Amino acid sequence: MSEAMNRRGFLTAAAGAAAAGMVAPEAGAGEEKFPPVQWKMVTTWPKNFPGLGTGANHLAELIQTMSGGRIKVKVYGDKELVGAFEVFDAVSRGTAEIGHGAAYYWKGKHPAVQFFAAVPFGMTAQEMNGWIYHGGGLELWKEVYAPFGLVPAPAGNTGVQMGGWFNKEIRSLEDLKGLKMRIPGLGGEVLKRAGGTPVNTPGGEIFPALQSGAIDASEWVGPYNDLAFGLHKAAKFYYYPGWHEPGTTMECFFNKKALEALPKDLQAIVLAAAQAANLDMLSDLTARNHAALEQLINVHKVQLRKFPDDVLRRLKQLSNEVLAEVAASDPLAKKVYESFKAFRDQAAAWHRVSELAYLTAREL
């Protein structure tokens, strides 16, 4: 058993013990009045896919352990019950009780949803968690999802992603023109403004699309996840930084009726499990990414490249245009964007004298 599995097992057991301690006085009565329930979780990820798919599995395990077995969750990967892009509707209509994915996949439902996943040149994982948990973000997220009968919660974060895999070098803005790239959400809109063609492809279909030439480039997550997908076998130029997804929040969302049908203690346990899973995924990827990057470079001879500064500057300008247009398209989207932007500016000001200042000093 790996060290990571030992750690995860310990966390799950500890969470279960803590939860049992918190509800022990009423557990017996609760079990008699409310028998164990069977929930289904549908995900946008391939079954058991490292990092993201296993993050969904971990959330299911936490819910079952912390509830003392009063809630059992069966996890379905992409296409096992519904397709990746059908997850939102499946939970909304009650086909499943939990969905696990990323909010930008549902931008057709409401333009505001994208702010709860990833915003180009937006917030890091630490900043996103600050906004969602203590900056009003979660309340806005609930407001956006309420008409669909869903209750959202953060359930993981990738941290700053890589810029993606390319079958040619990106030396200037001209190299983005005509480029067919798998890139979802707001980042895709920015690429389109730069002259590229964004393609929204489920994770499980990226490798064959890139290998066959159906697309010229693809972003996914970072070294650990990208290595697991074998994307280095389809393209050799690996770019950074992930300007399009600087702190991508993974989500779980619950069918509101199913969640509210639970006793109050179980509702609290379910939401606490999501918060624990949110921390664990970011920690897991932070621990694994560098070793995977070294393997990609040293073993698989991947060519690591940084986007040119002039390309990044132009992409940032285009990002600001896209965000302004999304905000202007809908009153609720404007409300969410204004909250997001205000928190980002506040966090950036603080991080100039904290995180950024320290990281700069550490390199002296």
For 75, the domain range is: 3-157+246-287
Question: What's the pLDDT score for residue 32?
Answer: 53
pLDDT score, position 142: 98
pLDDT of residue 19: 43
Q: What is the pLDDT of residue 34?
A: 74
Q: Is residue 132 part of a domain?
A: yes
**pLDDT tens per residue across all 364 residues of the chain:** 444 444 455 444 444 444 444 343 344 444 457 789 999 999 999 999 999 999 999 999 999 999 999 999 999 999 999 999 999 999 999 999 999 999 999 999 999 999 999 999 999 999 999 999 999 999 999 999 999 999 999 999 999 999 999 999 999 999 999 999 999 999 999 999 999 999 999 988 999 999 999 999 999 999 999 999 999 999 999 999 999 999 999 999 999 999 999 999 999 999 999 999 999 999 999 999 999 999 999 999 999 999 999 999 999 999 999 999 999 999 999 999 999 999 999 999 999 999 999 999 999 9
- For 156, left (φ over 0), alpha (ψ -120 to 50), or beta? left
How many other C-beta atoms lie within 10 A of the C-beta of residue 133? 13
Say if 342 falls within a structural domain.
no
**How many other C-beta atoms lie within 10 A of the C-beta of residue 272?**
18
The rounded radius of gyration (Å) of the Cα atoms in the chain is 21
Q: Which DSSP symbol is given to 236?
A: -
CB 352 within 8 Å of CB 363: no
CA 6/CA 40 separation, integer angstroms: 26
pLDDT of residue 17: 43
- Could you give the number of structural domains in the chain? 1
Domain assignment present for 140: yes
CATH number, domain at 130? 3.40.190.170
Domain presence at residue 335: no
User: What pLDDT is recorded for position 8?
Assistant: 53
Please give the model's pTM, rounded to 2 decimal places.
0.90
Question: Is 205 inside a domain boundary?
Answer: no
Residue 272 lies in a domain: yes
Residue that is written with structure tokens 């964004």 in the block: 198
Three-class SS state of 150: strand
Note the pLDDT of residue 5.
42
b/e map 35-57, b = 16+ CB within 10 Å: eeeebbbbbbbbeebbbbbbbbb
Query: 197 in a domain, yes or no?
Result: no
Question: How far is the C-alpha of 232 from the C-alpha of 207, rounded, in Å?
Answer: 9
Angle (deg, nearest 10), helices 331-352 and 137-145: 160
- Exposed/middle/buried for 184, CB within 10 Å: 0-12, 13-18, 19+? buried
Question: What is the H or E stretch that residue 350 is in?
Answer: helix 331-352
